[in-house]
Chain A
Amino acid sequence: MELTLWTYEGPPHVGAMRIASSMKDIHYVLHAPQGDTYADLLFTMIERRGQRPPVTYTTFQARDLGGDTAELVKKNIKEAVERFKPKTLLVGESCTAELIQDQPGALAKGMGFDMPIVNLELPAYSKKENWGASETFYQLTRTLLKEKVSSSDKINPLRWRELGRRPKVNILGPSLLGFRCRDDVIEIQRILSEQGIDTNVVAPLGASPDDIERLIDAEINICLYQEIAEASCEWLKRNFGMEYTNTIPIGIKNTIEFINEVHEKLDLPLTNREELENKSKLPWYSKSVDSNYLTGKRVFIFGDGTHAIAAAKIAKEELGFEVVGLGTYSREMARQVRATAKDLNVEALITNNYLEVEDAMKKAAPELVLGTQMERHSAKRLGIPCSVISTPMHVQDVPARYSPQMGWEGANVIFDDWVHPLMMGLEEHLIDMFKHDFEFVDGHQSHLGHTATNKNNILNSDEKKEKNSKEGIIWTESGRAELTKVPFFVRGKVKTNTEKYAILRGIPEISDETLYDAKAYFS
């Protein structure tokens, strides 16, 4: 047993839901009790999705356990297939159903449907969300392509020449509830297209089962997020000889490295190498004099493997920060994160426990934190500026504007998002110079908009104000007591309104009743 307060990843079936919800013409029948439907809101609230995830929950109850839960599974599968008419059906179970062993996948396969059925066995008591997403995408790819394995020759990455067309690649890994996947896909497609490379299929995001069957029309695969796509890429390599890329194009250096890697794999000459560095503003912004103050800023990094490793490289090599902490909750990528940490002379933190991360953060005393939404909260408590670089995320981390992490525009976004929480160069210099002047407000933190100490000041001054009242109106004890129950952020308004009301009505003493009278009057 492991005590968990907040968790970085959900259970593996949530990973499966991410794949199903990312795709078209797929339905997922999940053998699960009521309550597990909470997972729908991850998609409809965090991602603001206008469609329900394509998931049917069998909703078994305690009273069903003595009877035939297998029949319940079959009934739900039948209804879901009739209603949603999916081209491919995923069948699986959540943690509780795993214990009762109805084997819904096998049941579904025995029901005589024509469509491919993917039986998902995702061990809920040992694995987590990203693993579940990876496994689901892999099983789906395998199911839809396994019949073509023997009949196909190994794919020659140079065949595009013989075929007399531009080279084609697949972009694998982007999914819903991934970090900025929607925009990364657009950015990467744009970059590839500029290099004369066409995108064959993007999957799972936006793909249908038909698209999965078309994966082998491409020459190579772009593995955009290892957490989700590496297992599928590896299977496609083993069975169809499809090469895949290892470089994650986050940051200028990695984006150039990525373009190189794609060209090498396709034996395509890279003609515009010199232009590449200037495709993004990051290199110049980072070199401009205002950025001098960024030199040696202490930065603490924690996130999923892909984003944490990329962030460390950008921080050190492209912004001139000092990386004082690096870690991940992705155990699957622990080895790579450790290697990166070793190069940076820090010890990698591999953990699921956000309190351990907060402790490490405290000890490292960084000036900037790059993390998940957990680290955002921790950093806020410690009064340290923070930028979110990885899932788990908040609805705020799904911005309306185009804001990729990858490629040239991704580098622009990263420069802004990481640097804006800090003070600007001249600003830092001036504050340092003038901080002894009497006008200077103690604890000045520029535009960072925190911290707890400021909040206390507001409360204290509020309380002081409450004791005096203008226009000679007296606040009685009950009135004052009631006022303190009003949340502090609207207390000022309630106080003003009540006094305004008391003046209007010629009430000399404000009691709790006056407060409610005023509330009703102004509502």
Chain B
Amino acid sequence: MSKVEFNKETGPREVFCGLTSIVWLHRRMPDAFFLVVGSRTCAHLIQSAAGVMIFAEPRFGTAILEEKDLAGLADAHEELDRVVNDLIARRPEIKTLFLVGSCPSEVIKLDLATVAEKLNKRFLGQVRFVNYSGSGIETTFTQGEDGALKALIPLMDSSDEEKLLLVGTLANNVEDRFKKIFRNLGISNIESFPPRQSTELPKIGKNTKVLLTQPYLSDTVRDLKHRGCEIISAPFPLGIEGSTEWFLAAAKAFKISELKVHEIISPLINRAKLALESHKEILKGKRLFLLPESQLEISLARFLHNECQMDLIEVGTPYLNKDLMKEEINLLPDNTKIVEGQHVERQLDRVRESNPDLVVCGMGLANPLEAEGISTKWSIEMVFSPIHGIDQAADLAGLFSKPLKRNQILTSKTLVTH
């Protein structure tokens, strides 16, 4: 392991909670509905965080707890039953309903598992119910996906068939590309989790080789291991280097020669390097500060340093699973400063002191930092854009080069913000 500096920080945070991941999960599985059991704050968070109010009737909603639910005047279980009945009557196309716990439902200890169990019996053969928590007291942003996937594992049948299982939500076009490349490598049995339809869950067992596409799935990995799956240790498929290592690790698990991998992916690598060039021109030597949010920060730092030659000031992450991130950390330059957790005020002090060229941060902080003359990139875009794989390396770099390019065009530094 390279000599990376690990730090921990606690204090006030500026991050999303796990409910936010519903925004991309519901798109991945169009036959599922995500019902948050929470407060008006939860409903307001989801609609504000993603600006997704373009849908007439989204496939997510909030059962808002009211005074009478809390005072015990209404039986919360009965109330939830009523809401679910109405919802299913209105949306008969729903095949899987996720009951998503929130901060208030966790604090009042609303037992969603029992509710799900009862509903499963009632709607047997029509709708399946699973539950997980996306609460802010337990989860950050992308950890919501970890919870949702973990909740689906018990529904997955067992099979000893040899297969490659890609785990973590991918954009559909990226998933298709990956599958094609794996087929070219000679791996024919490939499935994805989460699948594109919630009812088409892959079967798993001792010959399932799991290849993670996202770095934030600690609990899911643990449960897949319990089901006998083999976890392929690899960096994550962001950038050319990460993706190459990722393909190599998968090939090794399937006893495919390195030579074969290089033969298949080297044309991809060559054109990706070509495409990366113009972005590297802009990013080279620029100093980067990543605030914690998506857990993609370490992989992004690795890509932006190793392939785009950016200098790393600080790499924040809301949560660090050293085991899962082992391969990534190995690829980081020596003396990289990783900070797990956050004290947002102290971290912003460090941002200002270090005078970075680019800060990766949440939307709440982006404009205030821009107003101070510091260029920013919103981290939420990483989870909405197709950024995985060799073919997307230049697009990924483009997310970071664009604000710098814009900053060069617009040179005025002393803007008054109203």
* Chain A residues engaging chain B, CB cutoff 8 angstroms: 1-7, 9-11, 13-14, 33-42, 44-45, 48-52, 56-62, 65, 76, 79, 83, 94-96, 99-100, 123-126, 128, 182, 355, 358, 373-374, 377-378, 381, 482, 485, 512-513, 516-517, 519-521, 523
Contact = CB atoms under 8 A, between A and B. Distances in A.
Given A41-B363, A44-B364, A44-B368, A1 B64 contact: yes
A45 B367 CA distance: 7
Contacts of A378: 56
Nearest to B108: A99
A513 B268 CA distance: 9
Interface stretch (B13-21, B302-310, B326-334): B13-21
Given A10-B41, A14-B44, A125 B137 contact: no
B126 interface: no
A65 B107 contact: yes
A182 to B, nearest CB: 7
B106 A62 contact: yes
A65 B20 CA distance: 23
B155 to A, nearest CB: 25
8 contacts: A1-B82, A2-B64, A4-B62, A4-B64, A6-B47, A38-B48, A125-B39, A125-B65
Contact of A33 (B47, B62, B136, B275): B136
A128 B40 contact: yes
Contact of A96 (B62, B69, B83, B137): B137
Contacts of B362: 37, 41
Given A3-B83, A50-B367, A33 B48 contact: no
Interface in B42-98: 43-45, 47-49, 53-54, 56-58, 60-67, 69-70, 74, 76, 79-80, 82-83, 86-87
A40 B43 contact: no
Given A38-B45, A40-B364, A374 B53 contact: yes
B417 A50 contact: yes
B271 interface: yes
B258 interface: no
Contact of B364 (A7, A9, A37, A482): A37
B76 A1 contact: yes
B403 interface: no
Given A45-B367, A485-B176, A11 B345 contact: no
A37 B37 CA distance: 19
Contacts of B44: 7, 10-11, 14, 38-39
Interface string B17-37: 111100000000000000001
A61 B70 CA distance: 21
A520 B56 CA distance: 37
Contacts of B398: 523
B169 interface: no
A41 B49 contact: yes
Nearest to B106: A62
A51 B372 CA distance: 9
Contacts, number: 220
Contacts of A358: 56
Contacts of B411: none
Contacts of A62: 106, 135, 137-138
Contacts of B191: none
Contacts of A2: 63-64, 66
Closest 9 CB pairs of A and B: A50-B417, A35-B17, A35-B136, A50-B371, A40-B364, A96-B103, A33-B136, A520-B271, A95-B39
A498 to B, nearest CB: 14
A512 B184 CA distance: 14
B128 to A, nearest CB: 20
B41 A124 contact: yes
Nearest to A13: B41
A5 B87 CA distance: 11
A344 B39 CA distance: 36
Given A62-B137, A381-B56, A44 B365 contact: yes
B20 to A, nearest CB: 8
B67 A126 contact: yes
B12 interface: yes
Nearest to B278: A523
A257 B164 CA distance: 74
A78 B237 CA distance: 44
Contacts of A95: 38-41, 103-104
Contacts of B268: 516
B12 to A, nearest CB: 5
A33 B367 contact: no
A51 to B, nearest CB: 6
Nearest to B61: A5
A34 B82 CA distance: 30
A96 B107 contact: yes
Given A44-B367, A48-B367, A33 B135 contact: yes
Contacts of B172: 485
B272 interface: yes
A50 B107 CA distance: 35
B103 A35 contact: yes
A5 B41 contact: no
B345 A48 contact: no
A58 B40 contact: no
B125 to A, nearest CB: 24
Given A33-B137, A38-B44, A44-B368, 8 more contacts: A4-B62, A10-B40, A36-B45, A39-B44, A41-B364, A99-B107, A100-B107, A377-B54
A381 B56 CA distance: 8
A519 B275 contact: yes
Contacts of A48: 367, 417
B148 to A, nearest CB: 16
A4 B57 CA distance: 10
A4 B15 contact: no
Contacts of B137: 33-34, 60-62, 65, 96
A39 B173 CA distance: 33
B317 interface: no
B87 A56 contact: no
Contacts of B54: 377
Given A41-B49, A62-B138, A99-B70, A35 B65 contact: no
A251 to B, nearest CB: 26
A20 to B, nearest CB: 15
A336 B413 CA distance: 49
A38 B16 contact: yes
Interface string B380-418: 000000000001001000100000000000000001011
Contacts of A3: 61-64, 83, 86-87
A33 B108 CA distance: 15
A495 B98 CA distance: 40
B142 to A, nearest CB: 13
B145 to A, nearest CB: 15
B39 A40 contact: no
Contacts of B13: 34, 37, 57, 59
Contact of B39 (A34, A57, A124, A512): A124
Contact of B40 (A4, A52, A520): A4
B370 to A, nearest CB: 7
B19 to A, nearest CB: 7
A222 to B, nearest CB: 22
B371 A4 contact: no
- Most B Cβ at <10 Å: residue of A4, A42, A83: A4
A522 B58 CA distance: 37
Contacts of A58: 12
A92 B19 CA distance: 23
A298 B104 CA distance: 44
A37 B13 CA distance: 8
B140 interface: yes
B169 to A, nearest CB: 17
A291 to B, nearest CB: 33
A91 to B, nearest CB: 14
